[in-house]
């Protein structure tokens, strides 16, 4: 199936874009959602995480303690690599399993760390980046999560830079503070139509919408 790797920094708006693409008939697999399922109580990642980080990494309800893990993984590159060594193989296998079952006019893999991982870009036909300026990212994440600015900036510093993401993009969706939601939806729909039309042939070239 022709595939799109959809990515963007935290707070860029990629989830909204993915929801629209699913509404219009694309098959969407979200690696963040898979990660949440793996780290929920009884999830396949819980015991490997306990073995890698100790009991403190697991909350009383049996899920991964996200606050504890955030404080450790984004402050210590070695801890982040250990976390990725547990989660990434499990996520990769879950994506393969889901990709065999899903149906749609094309496949969208939502991968927040697509550029950083270095693996996912080889598995998709095109990379689409949802882009906005860093200050907009901070404001959006603060509004939805209540995280402190310093915590958000630590998360952003562990992600690829805006320039690195744009350099890896075949298609770009601009979603800054000046973007009207209806206008954004129209931009995304134009890309959807182009991807649907090209679903049976190789992708080349770069298109920017915004």
pTM of the model: 0.86
Instruction: Name the residue with tokens 């998709």.
Output: 124
pLDDT (average), residues 9-17: 92
Among 28-32, 114-118, 148-152, name the one with the lowest average pLDDT: 114-118
Instruction: Please report, for residues 71, 137, 171, the alpha-carbon distance to residue 125 in angstroms, rounded to integers and kept in the order given.
Output: 35, 27, 11
User: Of 39-43, 156-160, 173-177, 180-184, which one has max mean pLDDT?
Assistant: 39-43
Predicted pLDDT at 205: 45
Question: In CATH, what number does 1-26+108-210 get?
Answer: 3.40.50.300
| Segments making up each domain of the chain, as ranges | 1-26+108-210, 32-103
| Under 8 Å between Cβ of 39 and 88 | no
* Average pLDDT over the chain, rounded to an integer: 90
Give per-residue pLDDT as tens, 127-137.
Answer: 999 999 999 99
Whether 203 shows a pLDDT value over 80: the answer reads no
Among 3-17, 28-42, 151-165, 192-206, name the one with the lowest average pLDDT: 192-206
Give per-residue pLDDT as tens, 59-105.
Answer: 999 999 999 998 888 788 899 999 999 999 999 999 999 999 999 99
3-state DSSP assignment of residue 130: strand
pLDDT (average), residues 165-184: 88
Strands, E assignment, the chain: 3-7, 27-30, 107-110, 126-131, 171-174, 207-209
Band the pLDDT of 122: cuts 50, 70, 90.
confident
């Amino acid at each position: 199936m022709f595939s799109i790797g959809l990515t963007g920094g935290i707070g860029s708006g990629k989830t909204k874009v993915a929801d629209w693409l699913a509404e219009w008939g694309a098959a969407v697999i979200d690696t963040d959602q898979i990660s949440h399922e793996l780290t929920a109580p009884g999830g396949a990642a819980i015991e490997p995480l306990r073995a890698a980080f100790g009991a403190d990494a697991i909350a009383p309800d049996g899920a991964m303690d996200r606050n504890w893990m955030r404080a450790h993984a984004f402050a210590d590159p070695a801890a982040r690599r250990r976390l990725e060594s547990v989660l990434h193989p499990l996520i990769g296998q879950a994506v393969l399993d889901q990709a065999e079952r899903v149906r749609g006019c094309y496949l969208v893999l939502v991968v927040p760390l697509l550029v950083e991982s270095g693996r996912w870009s080889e598995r998709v036909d095109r990379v689409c980046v949802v882009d906005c300026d860093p200050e907009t990212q901070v404001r959006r994440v603060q509004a939805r999560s209540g995280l402190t600015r310093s915590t958000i900036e630590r998360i952003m510093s562990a992600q690829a830079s805006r320039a690195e993401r744009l350099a890896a993009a075949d298609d770009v969706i601009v979603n800054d503070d000046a973007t009207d939601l209806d206008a954004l939806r129209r931009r995304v729909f134009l890309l959807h139509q182009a991807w649907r039309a090209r679903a049976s042939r190789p992708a080349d070239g770069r298109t920017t919408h915004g």
